[in-house]
Amino acid sequence: LELALQKLQHTQLQMIQSEKMSSLGQLVAGIAHEINNPVNFIYGNLFPAEQYMQDLLELIHTYQAHYPNPLPAIQNTVEAIDLAFVESDLPRLLSSIRMGAERIRQIVSSLRTFSRLDEAECKAVDIHEGIDSTLVILENRLKATSEHPGIRVIKQYGDLPLVECYAGQLNQVFMNILVNALDALEEHDQHRSHQEIDQASSSIVIRTQKIDPDRVAVHIADNGPGMPEAVKQRIFDPFFTTKPIGKGTGIGMSISYQIITENHGGTIHCFSTPQQGTELIIEIPLKQTTLLS
């Protein structure tokens, strides 16, 4: 009965995750497509708009040089619109629009990289690119706001070759681990004073390395509250969660365990001590040929 229950939970997890990833993939594809078209239109028209602006300002300067004493009506209009301010602010305004458009294009690109909707099969990919795309998606939770302080991300990337993996699945693992770290750090900061936070700000360290000729490791560590041994022993159990009802499903880490161990022939370990933070270490082979065969 216990074995049957474990198999049932495993099957249920696979069905839930499959449905979630299918829905997520369709949502990401739709959002990326709908955002990308208007953003490209805006971005593509910024260069001619800047050129037109320069031409018009040059025309105004030419008029000012040849007609240094404008008619009262023209002078009144110049003062009303504050022409000098417009001349200095308009280039900055267009530059801000360009930066915003570039930021949106970066987010769309990160959504595509994260989901890897067109790369369901095993391919050689850049692990760092997947981590970076996940961080871009989570950037709103990393920045300081009126509700919570900022969380530093320290990257210690090693010199890694391309790794054969299911990129979308691996990115989902990174997302699950990072979201859990952010949840823990945010909750921890709620119980700390401003002085304590200033003295030891919340941070996440992401370190990658090639540990032997055919394996790579990804370390994701936070300086949050850590967890007791009883909780640490169960974090990969299906449906186990310490979060309140409605905030945690208990399937993120168990699915991550399945993705790493079963789908990639790797290992994932958790090291944590109360008040000393938590570290997840993922190890996967560089090539999946042996596993797949």
Which residue range forms the structural domain that includes residue 264? 121-292
User: Phi and psi dihedrals of 291, rounded to 5?
Assistant: -65, -45
Query: How much is the pLDDT for 291?
Result: 47
Question: In degrees, to the nearest 5, what angle opens at C-alpha 268 toward C-alphas 262 and 274?
Answer: 145
Query: Can you give the pLDDT at residue 273?
Result: 87
Whether pTM exceeds 0.75: no
Q: Do residues 66 and 144 share a domain?
A: no
> Pick from 98, 88, 111: which is nearest to 34 by CA?
111
Distance between CA atoms of 255 and 241, rounded to whole angstroms? 13
DSSP secondary-structure letter at 147? S
Rg (CA), the chain: 26
Last residue of some domain: 60, 83, 111?
111
Contacts of 130 (CB under 8 A, 6+ apart): 113, 114, 167, 170, 171, 174
Residue reference for tokens 């320069």: 54
263 in any annotated domain:
yes
Task: Name the pLDDT band for 163 (thresholds 50, 70, 90).
Answer: very high
Domain boundary among 88, 111, 134: 111
Residue 116 lies in a domain: no
| In-domain check, residue 155 | yes
Residues 175 and 260 in one domain: yes
Task: Answer with the one of 92, 111, 130 that is the final residue of a domain.
Answer: 111
Overall average pLDDT of the 209-219 stretch? 93
Mean pLDDT of 24-46: 74
Q: For the domain that residue 266 is a member of, what is the CATH number?
A: 3.30.565.10
- Say if residue 128 is in the same domain as residue 103: no
Q: What is the average per-residue pLDDT within 248-268?
A: 81
pLDDT of residue 292: 46
**Number of structural domains, the chain?**
2
Distance separating alpha carbons of residues 4 and 11, to the nearest angstrom: 10
Residues 203, 258 share a domain: yes
Spell out the residues 6+ positions from residue 42 whose beta carbon is closer than 8 angstroms to its own. 97, 101
The answer to whether residue 230 is domain-embedded is: yes
Same domain, 155 and 202: yes
136 in the same domain as 155: yes
Whole-angstrom distance, CA of residue 87 vs CA of residue 83: 6
Both 267 and 152 in one domain: the answer is: yes
The sheet with strand 267-272 has its strands ordered as 152-156, 203-212, 215-222, 278-285, 267-272
